[in-house]
Amino acid sequence: MLAGIAGATLAGCRQVLGLDTPTLGDGGPNGDGGATGDGTTGTSPLHLAPPDGVAGTAPWQIAGGVTIDTGTLTIAGATLPAGDSLDARSQLGGGPELAVLHVGAFVVANDAVVQIVGTRPLVIVGDGEFEIEGLLDAGGHGASPGAGGSSPASGSGAGDPGSHGANDSDSGAGGGGFGTAGGAGGAIIESCVVAGGGGGAVYGDAGLSLLVGGSAGGNGSGTVCPTDPGGGGGGAIQLTSQAAIVIDVTGVLVAGGGGGAGGTDCNMTDDNSGAGGGAGGAIVLQAPVITNRGVVAANGGGGGGAGTTGQGSGLSGEDGSLATAAVGGAGPVAAGGNGGTGQPGSPGQSAVCGENGGGGGGGAGRIAVSSSYSDTGTTSPAPAVSLPY
């Protein structure tokens, strides 16, 4: 299917796979059937008014490295075909403004690495088949959030920062929350007790009635060293095809949270606690036929390990990616907590007076799919199979 995506080829692929688009629609402006606004019959893209969810006219095949910036509405590394466009549209229900990519068919080739960044969630709408063979990445990476995700120490479910106590003791920061809660930061125990930063709270709903990203982890604590930032929240991405969505065996669609930074040991004068991991973001898949043979994941990032004066800095937590939990960063004394998959982020390790705590892991994000979803690959966390088509 990747060798050529002219109209005849796409039609042939639909016949081979049994993915001919059915005639759908019973009226309704927000994903419950009716006219799409471009003269075809089908289901309107969720989160958009029908005139805002019109498909483009040309198939777009992406190869190599490409960056889509939803804030500046620009694309680096590739050029959209004539008849396709990227613009900003209002979200139904009062959610944040959306970046909308209007295409015909949409193919991410096996060698493609597509990074989605920026301030707005991304919605890709088309009337042809969507096939993901490479990487489509709307996740946070370290302190950088994914598209529509929250920056460190922000968001509706932001993790709390660590706190400074006696004897240069600093508790770890909490991980960000979204679909599940973030893990608490590691506390300082024994003689100079300092509570760990609280993990971020759950918000939103399982069906993603608003398309929003994950919240960020809290920042690590210290008095002299530069602030160590929490992990950025995972971004939000929606794919809506009037034909079919296929994630192939080599395909990866990810919206994980970023890993929290490790606590700094700055020249034996001070040391910081670990920062919290960012929560996973949101993935919406809407089509009459959806097949996942690869990976669809929106997991939390790991918390950062604590630094210790004279013993070194802590390591940053892993970014949330596939089915296994992102590992919290190691530290000379206290490690960060693991990111959440289907469960809350793990708490950071505690420490005794005079040391520092690890950052909490970020909570899991949310995945919502149409009831046609067929999964022989990996989906993490488990999806809410509730979307209309």
- The answer, yes or no, to whether residue 89 has pLDDT greater than 50, is yes
Give Rg (Cα) of the chain. Answer: 22
Question: For residue 12, what pLDDT band results from cuts at 50, 70 and 90?
Answer: very low
Find the mean pLDDT for residues 211-226: 94
Cα–Cα distance between 350 and 188 in angstroms, integer? 6
Mean pLDDT of all residues in 168-189: 96
Flag whether 109 is in a domain.
yes
The 10 Å Cβ neighbour count of residue 377 is 17
Task: Examine residue 22 and state whether it is found in any structural domain, yes or no.
Answer: no
Q: Are 47 and 62 in contact (CB under 8 A)?
A: no
Residue 30 in domain: no
Residue 115's nearest CA partner among 152, 74, 146 is 146
Asked if residue 199 lies in contact with residue 183, where contact means CB atoms within 8 angstroms, the answer is yes
370 lies in some domain = yes
Q: Has residue 129 been placed in a domain? A: yes
pLDDT at 16: 29
Instruction: Give 388's pLDDT tier (boundaries 50, 70, 90).
Output: confident
**Within-domain flag for 21:** no
Residue 323 lies in a domain: yes
**pLDDT tier at 225 (50, 70, 90 boundaries)?**
confident
Asked if pLDDT for residue 244 goes beyond 70, the answer is yes
| Distances in whole angstroms, Cα of residue 387 to Cα of each of 43, 48, 282 | 11, 14, 14
Which residue, chain included where needed, has tokens 């994950």? Answer: 214
Using the predicted structure, report yes or no on whether residue 6 has a pLDDT greater than 70.
no
Q: Mean pLDDT throughout 219-226?
A: 90
Domain count across the chain: 1
Residue of 9, 219, 201, 211 lying closest to 107 (CA atoms): 9
Domain-embedded: residue 28: no
- Quote the pLDDT of residue 181: 98
pLDDT value at residue 51? 95
High-pLDDT (> 70) share of the chain, %: 89
Please tell me the predicted confidence (pLDDT) of residue 184: 98
Beta-ladder partners of 124: 101, 239
Average pLDDT over residues 143-152: 97
pLDDT digits (tens, 9 = 90+) for 288-332: 999 999 999 999 999 999 998 888 899 999 999 887 899 999 999
Res. 11: pLDDT tops 50? no
How do residues 19-36 score in pLDDT, each as one tens digit? 333 322 322 333 333 333
pLDDT score of 38 more than 50: no
Structural domain harbouring 58:
1-14+37-389
CB environment 230-246: b (16+ within 10 A), e (fewer): bbbbbbbbbbbbbbbbb
Q: Please give the full DSSP string across 109-136, using - where no structure is assigned.
A: -TT-EEEEESSS-EEEEESS-EEE-SEE
pLDDT exceeds cutoff 70 at 3 = no
Global pTM exceeds 0.75: yes
- Quick one: pLDDT at residue 42? 56
Note the pLDDT tens digit of each residue in 325-384.
999 999 999 999 999 999 999 999 999 998 999 999 999 999 999 999 999 999 999 999
